[in-house]
Structure 1
Amino acid sequence: MTQQDIQDQTGWRGSREVWLDAARAALIDHGIDAVKVQPLATGLGLSRTSFYWFFKDRAALLQALQDDWEAANTQALVSAAAAYAATIPEAVLNVISVFLDAQGFSPRYDMAVRGWAHRDAQVAARVSAADDRRLAAIREMFLRFGFDAGEADVRARTIYLVQIGYIALQTEETLADRMARIPAYVQTFAGQPPSVADLARFHARHGGAGGGP
């Protein structure tokens, strides 16, 4: 690779991550119609031809956006549901934590992709598959703690559909209100209250976070 090649990849052409970050921001802020090569190039101060160094075409960028969304949002939830917990209340708090972590699951990203899915059957199918994967992960969490299949399914749906409702309604809560509701949410979702130690760890982890139950 020549020095010019290196400069082309890391200099004025930008990078794959730069273009993908710009596409993600455009999708979240303005919807899928804003994810077009020329407006992205203009916003980045790069040439339109720079885009094609990293992506074959717009369709490739849109595919990369879907992959990115799954890697960020879906994987965060799946990993949390599989994380170690000594009790089911602690496991439920692990899942709730995903929706409060600004560095993990992004509610606005989820909303944007779901809005896109209303206009694109392929994206709709992918969102449906992601929902199934997320629900399966939470269901498996309950199964690990001895719940039967039917109850595990209903409890998983209760957690997940409540959270999606929070996102869809763009619910806003003060930190005090949100944290005050956590023990009752856990009691409802798990059928058992969290311990004082569970809540202390949760508060220490999310003292200033926000985003849902």
Structure 2
Amino acid sequence: MDGKRTERGWRGTPDVWLEAAYDLLVEGGVEAVKVMPLADRLGLSRTSFYWHFQDREALLAGLIDRWKAKNTGNLVARCEAPAATIAEAMLNLIDCWVDPQLFDSRLEFAMRTWALTDRTVEVAMAEADATRIAALTALFRRFGYAETEADTRARTLYLTQVGYIALRSQESFAVRLGRIPAYVLTFSGQAPTEAEVAAFRARHAVRSDG
């Protein structure tokens, strides 16, 4: 614990509790997200939790809001990012699949698992899927694809990524980078230019398998 956490009377912050709850969620599922394990992990008292949250349900609602803002919010933003070609637009979107700061696949897997046993989360997941597919469809429509083709390409792209997440597919970053130009061609019908691929790689140059 750092000095701040051991100060007398320090109760943490809502973000501190949410971050610890996130860790428990992705490690052990929603059943692992309980007040006492959180307090033990943070080295704080159980009563400190209730300074920030009315109850466990309020904390879980905070996790749902965090997931919506990060995964759905960033995916929609990448779909709407400026692009001169559909291939460049695809690469903007694929930023989400290779940068966990934009789209958290571990959180997405945990949320989809949680949705299997919680009707509220199931509804939120269905809404998120619909919002994301609509954004992807709009992306294709922006580049002149007819409605049915735009919808089909959007679903092909999205369901492929959901499959990656559901199967917890593991591949090195180098392998995924090598496949991305072919994915762009598969999803859009247009291959990216060397310059577009180079710009994408430059954005992710700091990533490594380590």
TM-score (normalised: structure 1): 0.91
* CA distance, structure 1, for counterparts of residue 46 and residue 88 of structure 2: 49
Alignment of 1:172-211 (within 5 A): 172-207=170-205, 209=207
Aligned to 1:86, the other structure's residue is in SS state coil
What's the CA shift string for 1:2-47, capped at 9, x where partnerless?
xxxxx9xx96100000000011110000111111111111111101
Shift of 1:183: 1.2
AA aligned opposite 1:26: L
CA distance in 2, matches of 1:210, 1:98: 16
Label 1:130 to 1:11 Cα distance change in 2 as closer, same or farther (>3 A).
farther
The corresponding residue for 1:104 is 102
What percent of counterpart residues are identical? Answer: 52
Change (3 A) 1:136 1:209: farther
Does the CA contact (< 8 Å) of 2:30 and 2:114 recur in 1?
A: yes
Q: Secondary structure at the match of 2:195?
A: helix
Query: What residue is the counterpart of 1:168 in the other structure?
Result: 166
Local SS of the residue matching 1:52: helix
- Alignment partners' CA distance in 1, 2:14 and 2:178: 42
Which residue of the partner structure matches residue 152 of structure 1? Answer: 150
Question: Following TM superposition, by how much is the alpha carbon of 1:102 offset from its aligned partner in structure 2, in angstroms?
Answer: 2.5
Q: Distance in 2 between matches of 1:210 and 1:134?
A: 28
Unaligned runs of 5+ in 2: none
Give the letter aligned to residue 45 of structure 1: G
CA deviations on 1:100-142 (whole Å, 9 max, x unpaired) are 1121211000000111011101100100100110111111001
The runs of at least 4 consecutive aligned structure 1 residues that moved more than 6 Å come to: none
Aligned residues of 2:95 and 2:102 also touching (Cα < 8 A): no
The yes-or-no answer on 1:60 pairing with 2:61 is no
Which letter maps to 2:107?
Y
The equivalent of 1:20 in structure 2 is 18
- 1: distance between equivalents of 2:91 and 2:178? 14
Number of equivalenced pairs: 203
Higher relative contact order (CA 8 A, sep 6+): 1
Partner of 1:44 in structure 2? 42
Normalized against structure 2, the TM-score is what? 0.92
CA distance in 2, matches of 1:11, 1:155: 55
Verify the 8 A CA contact 1:101 1:210 in the aligned structure 2: no
Unpaired stretches in structure 1, ≥5 consecutive residues? 1-6
SS at structure 2 position matched to 1:43: helix
C-alpha root-mean-square deviation of aligned residues, in Å?
1.7
Task: Report deviation, 1:166.
Answer: 0.7
CA contact under 8 A between 1:135 and 1:157: conserved in structure 2?
yes
